[in-house]
A and B are shown apart, each in its own frame.
Chain A
């Protein structure tokens, strides 16, 4: 429960954090710390240097940019849950943020940290994927945009370069029907399987985008389900294709076989709920 020896530096700006990342190859960024610190305490992660980006000002915000929202990487889950703008323009994100971990995690963890960690069992990566978001990473050469569909490359692996800092998430507005089905054994747990469904045209009925939590090495889009739904299939029919293209893990909570079953049940429920139309977050 004691991490291996590491150094600690505070970064006052994104530029400073990028410079430190370039200078120290074994460094890791520290934001909310709710993914990284447990790994370090178990010595599963042994960074030589922690660069604390907590002091970087101006990275916690939600802005209405007309057709999309811009969310600063250091915005905490609890702020997403309570944000009036998010509740109005992307209610699924607000709702999902309220389902992450436990109250302590939601008050410390950040959306940027959750995305950069790239855990397929986390809730927010799948939400951003279903919303067709775009991520902004800043490196020595300046900022660049990465579509969410290209962002998650492998298990705990993302498209962020070793000397880049994730700064912003841009999310098309999604005021239409939505659903987040999180299945777990205890309220505080990661999803055994989770399903996000949103109406794709941002207003209501349009094609539905569906993303899966914990059904493979990365968060996934359920392409077969989306295709079936776009072709007019009802929720149950579309859901029968939920496990297509997935490679769910077997672990203490569920075998791969059970996860495939859960995915089909949860996708059906998610589509039923999303297809029922607009709804505010309770």
Chain B
């Protein structure tokens, strides 16, 4: 019986639950100096002068450097869409463009001395008018980069200038509904903040420890910054305490640690504080959306248009490019005959936007799923029935949407049916009707979303190698870079299953660019279907090599050699005595100069499209506006599941973050661009106390795109849950005349919506 598909416990957890992990801040670096940054207190200002004299004279201070001292060319995302003049400098140069932007780097013998010395740096700012609201940025009244001539970074598509009348997309629609929807800016809040540490060996090679999802990208950027070849740089991501997409892109303040270590000929380390992290690590979402949906009164949707203003923050990073993924997933699980999309990404005097769990797809799902509910409310149909009338049938895959996205495989109707059944939807609607009749202050709301998303969206490869060690155990080295997901267990299962070993007999290695040959990293729910498949292929290749070898040693044909059913080696089929252990095979292979090692660069066959259906049940106190999530039911289909325990972990975490966006979390600025939510108390970070026990039901529709049948599961929870909860809150108040409330649906917003709707 195969181990795949079973709830194998996480082998990495013994360490985390006993002695704890080793994070960058735990790495022992004797003699290291500490770095702290002086950060901009203003959203937009010209730097008139910087005086580091007093800081340099402070006790324990080793160095204090400004942009002028650094003299490095700005780092720019490698994307044609992003104008060169908007590239981000390593330290603010001439102008500061967001609160929290690093201005001066101070290095001292201790962290306390570095922090104290930062207070002695004098920066003279001439305030400029800040641009905070992305919609206002479009006016170009104030430019962040005057050389660019506009605040618009990039745009996609064309505006729907025809409106909803004759000759437009919506020509012929009986009903057209329009709504402005805010998909608010959120902070990713990994529990481990950003950190890096740099040391140069006697050979002049750099070893760089960093909390990252992409060590190989980091190596590339470090080499570029230092002007050296990549083989002069070793990057190690030790245990990483969460990333959620915000640790994909290397940040200037973490890279500069290496530059300072070289300048000072001394190890340098840096760990940001939580308050710094709230401003320094990229933010997510940040879209202003305008939806138009039209169709007939029988529930059939005929046309859909989405216009997006994407907040990119002060310097364009991945965030500026997210609308491309929003467009890709525009029409969701529905067969909509006509659709249009227009987006503009703008710079504002705020923290730069980056990828955050879902990255462009949750925004698409939120828009279409809110639109389906708005449409259903307008024509007076149950939202489940409207969805059913428009879902793409299971018999139509591969399916190409009107926008040109080709979905691999799916059964959206099946997911919705299962959801309605396991949640007891009919009974819940009856309970809701009863509450409405009683006019009790606590009203019930039901909200759903039937989502599809794209995982492993980029083209390319991922690396894995499998080797049999002299002691007969296997070692897998992979280019993906797990930071909580459980890859040590999953990859070990893949190898163990192929080679007839136990999971504990597989050593797992990742995130060290000297030990792993190459790699891309972990993001976009890509890992199992890229690195996992590469691992399987490498293990398969090793097995073939071993069979050839064993056949030769046992004087039989390779096709007669099989795995020893008792484990630990190979044998001639039906002849248990004719057997070679893995240790023997490894030794023989090495002797013959052909070690049992296979290296695979797996080129994947395009993206996969996980899907599912989520239902949220909320209770809303109509007197205080407080929303309590009573139930969260999730049906998720990520293809064949390798380890349900790990998949559940991904779904649960995703649900929590998705619920948080709907109910609690929003990164806020005042009109001057001052951040208001700079700690986990003010940001109202979700906790277990705000969440019910999740109810998960699984479907498995294997993808034809890879031999594991696996799609990604890392982001589904976040993508499906946010609109489900959001819809539920509005649904609870629909009978009071409430049509829409922006997220997060705070008590005050709910109360104001009820008050405004009252006759």
Q: Which residues of A contact B (CB under 8 A)?
A: 1-2, 4-5, 42, 183, 185-189, 192, 252-255, 258, 261-262, 265-266
Interface residue? B68 (CB, 8 A): no
What residues of B have a CB within 8 angstroms of the CB of A262 in the complex? 624, 747
Nearest 4 A-B pairs (CB), nearest first? A187-B689, A1-B273, A258-B748, A265-B623
Is the pair A254, B748 in contact by a Cβ cutoff of 8 Å?
A: yes
Contact partner, A252, options B116, B677, B751, B752, Cβ 8 Å: B677
Is the pair B684, A186 in contact by a Cβ cutoff of 8 Å?
A: yes
With contacts A2-B111, A265-B624 known, is A192 near B116, CB below 8 A? no
Is the pair B116, A5 in contact by a Cβ cutoff of 8 Å?
A: yes
Is the pair B687, A188 in contact by a Cβ cutoff of 8 Å?
A: yes
Is the pair B115, A189 in contact by a Cβ cutoff of 8 Å?
A: no
Is the pair B624, A42 in contact by a Cβ cutoff of 8 Å?
A: no
Is the pair B682, A185 in contact by a Cβ cutoff of 8 Å?
A: no
What residues of B have a CB within 8 angstroms of the CB of A254 in the complex? 747-748
CB nearest neighbor in B for A193? B624
Is the pair A185, B275 in contact by a Cβ cutoff of 8 Å?
A: no
CB nearest neighbor in A for B668? A252
A98–chain B nearest beta-carbon distance, Å: 13
What residues of B have a CB within 8 angstroms of the CB of A253 in the complex? 746, 748
Interface residue? B504 (CB, 8 A): no
CB nearest neighbor in A for B272? A1
Which among B275, B668, B677, B751 has the greatest number of chain A C-beta atoms within 10 A? Answer: B751
Task: Give the distance in Å from the alpha carbon of A186 to the alpha carbon of B690 in the complex.
Answer: 6
Task: Give the distance in Å from the alpha carbon of A189 to the alpha carbon of B626 in the complex.
Answer: 14
What residues of B have a CB within 8 angstroms of the CB of A192 in the complex? 747
Interface residue? B274 (CB, 8 A): yes
CB nearest neighbor in A for B755? A261
Q: Binary interface profile of B, 90-119, with partner A (CB < 8 Å = 1, else 0)? A: 000000000000000000000110011000
Is the pair B687, A2 in contact by a Cβ cutoff of 8 Å?
A: no
Task: Give the distance in Å from the alpha carbon of A120 to the alpha carbon of B686 in the complex.
Answer: 24
Interface residue? B676 (CB, 8 A): yes
Is the pair B274, A255 in contact by a Cβ cutoff of 8 Å?
A: no
Within 8 A of A (CB), among B673-705: 676-677, 681-682, 684, 686-687, 689-690
What residues of B have a CB within 8 angstroms of the CB of A183 in the complex? 624, 626, 747
A53–chain B nearest beta-carbon distance, Å: 25
What residues of A have a CB within 8 angstroms of the CB of B664 in the complex? 185-186
B72–chain A nearest beta-carbon distance, Å: 28
With contacts A1-B274, A258-B748, A258-B751 known, is A188 near B676, CB below 8 A? no
What residues of B have a CB within 8 angstroms of the CB of A252 in the complex? 668, 676-677, 682
CB nearest neighbor in B for A259? B748
A150–chain B nearest beta-carbon distance, Å: 31
A261–chain B nearest beta-carbon distance, Å: 7
A99–chain B nearest beta-carbon distance, Å: 12
Is the pair B689, A189 in contact by a Cβ cutoff of 8 Å?
A: no
B462–chain A nearest beta-carbon distance, Å: 37
What residues of B have a CB within 8 angstroms of the CB of A5 in the complex? 116
Is the pair A261, B751 in contact by a Cβ cutoff of 8 Å?
A: yes
Is the pair A187, B748 in contact by a Cβ cutoff of 8 Å?
A: no
Contact partner, B689, options A4, A188, A255, A266, Cβ 8 Å: A188
Task: Give the distance in Å from the alpha carbon of A159 to the alpha carbon of B689 in the complex.
Answer: 36
Is the pair B751, A42 in contact by a Cβ cutoff of 8 Å?
A: no
Task: Give the distance in Å from the alpha carbon of A42 to the alpha carbon of B278 in the complex.
Answer: 14
What residues of A have a CB within 8 angstroms of the CB of B111 in the complex? 2
Task: Give the distance in Å from the alpha carbon of A189 to the alpha carbon of B686 in the complex.
Answer: 11
A1–chain B nearest beta-carbon distance, Å: 4
Contact partner, A189, options B623, B677, B681, Cβ 8 Å: B681
Task: Give the distance in Å from the alpha carbon of A278 to the alpha carbon of B678 in the complex.
Answer: 43
A119–chain B nearest beta-carbon distance, Å: 13
With contacts A186-B687, A189-B681, A252-B677 known, is A2 near B748, CB below 8 A? no
Task: Give the distance in Å from the alpha carbon of A265 to the alpha carbon of B622 in the complex.
Answer: 11
Q: Binary interface profile of B, 424-451, with partner A (CB < 8 Å = 1, else 0)? A: 0000000000000000000000000000
Task: Give the distance in Å from the alpha carbon of A186 to the alpha carbon of B686 in the complex.
Answer: 8
Is the pair A2, B624 in contact by a Cβ cutoff of 8 Å?
A: no
What residues of B have a CB within 8 angstroms of the CB of A42 in the complex? 275
Task: Give the distance in Å from the alpha carbon of A188 to the alpha carbon of B687 in the complex.
Answer: 9
B618–chain A nearest beta-carbon distance, Å: 14
B707–chain A nearest beta-carbon distance, Å: 45
What residues of B have a CB within 8 angstroms of the CB of A189 in the complex? 681, 684
Task: Give the distance in Å from the alpha carbon of A189 to the alpha carbon of B681 in the complex.
Answer: 7
Task: Give the distance in Å from the alpha carbon of A265 to the alpha carbon of B751 in the complex.
Answer: 12
What residues of A have a CB within 8 angstroms of the CB of B751 in the complex? 258, 261
Which among B623, B682, B690 has the greatest number of chain A C-beta atoms within 10 A? Answer: B623
What residues of B have a CB within 8 angstroms of the CB of A1 in the complex? 273-275
Task: Give the distance in Å from the alpha carbon of A281 to the alpha carbon of B283 in the complex.
Answer: 43
Task: Give the distance in Å from the alpha carbon of A253 to the alpha carbon of B746 in the complex.
Answer: 8
What residues of B have a CB within 8 angstroms of the CB of A185 in the complex? 626, 664, 684, 746-747
Which among B116, B676, B684 has the greatest number of chain A C-beta atoms within 10 A? Answer: B684
Can you name 19 extra interface pairs (CB under 8 A) apart from A253-B748, A262-B624? A1-B273, A1-B275, A4-B116, A183-B747, A185-B684, A185-B747, A186-B664, A186-B686, A186-B689, A186-B690, A187-B689, A188-B689, A252-B668, A252-B677, A252-B682, A253-B746, A254-B747, A254-B748, A266-B624
What residues of A have a CB within 8 angstroms of the CB of B677 in the complex? 252
Which among A4, A252, A266 has the greatest number of chain B C-beta atoms within 10 A? Answer: A252
Q: Binary interface profile of B, 116-141, with partner A (CB < 8 Å = 1, else 0)? A: 10000000000000000000000000
What residues of A have a CB within 8 angstroms of the CB of B748 in the complex? 253-255, 258
A235–chain B nearest beta-carbon distance, Å: 13
Q: Binary interface profile of B, 578-608, with partner A (CB < 8 Å = 1, else 0)? A: 0000000000000000000000000000000
What residues of A have a CB within 8 angstroms of the CB of B686 in the complex? 186
B688–chain A nearest beta-carbon distance, Å: 9
With contacts A252-B682, A255-B748 known, is A187 near B690, CB below 8 A? yes
A228–chain B nearest beta-carbon distance, Å: 20
CB nearest neighbor in B for A255? B748
Task: Give the distance in Å from the alpha carbon of A254 to the alpha carbon of B746 in the complex.
Answer: 9
B665–chain A nearest beta-carbon distance, Å: 11
CB nearest neighbor in B for A262? B624
CB nearest neighbor in A for B676? A252
Is the pair B684, A2 in contact by a Cβ cutoff of 8 Å?
A: no
What residues of B have a CB within 8 angstroms of the CB of A188 in the complex? 687, 689
Task: Give the distance in Å from the alpha carbon of A42 to the alpha carbon of B682 in the complex.
Answer: 14
With contacts A254-B748, A255-B748, A258-B751 known, is A2 near B112, CB below 8 A? yes
Task: Give the distance in Å from the alpha carbon of A187 to the alpha carbon of B684 in the complex.
Answer: 10
Task: Give the distance in Å from the alpha carbon of A189 to the alpha carbon of B274 in the complex.
Answer: 18
Task: Give the distance in Å from the alpha carbon of A42 to the alpha carbon of B276 in the complex.
Answer: 11
What residues of B have a CB within 8 angstroms of the CB of A2 in the complex? 111-112, 115
What residues of A have a CB within 8 angstroms of the CB of B275 in the complex? 1, 42
Is the pair B687, A187 in contact by a Cβ cutoff of 8 Å?
A: yes
Task: Give the distance in Å from the alpha carbon of A186 to the alpha carbon of B747 in the complex.
Answer: 11
What residues of B have a CB within 8 angstroms of the CB of A187 in the complex? 687, 689-690
What residues of A have a CB within 8 angstroms of the CB of B687 in the complex? 186-188
A211–chain B nearest beta-carbon distance, Å: 19
CB nearest neighbor in B for A265? B623
What residues of A have a CB within 8 angstroms of the CB of B747 in the complex? 183, 185, 192, 254, 258, 262
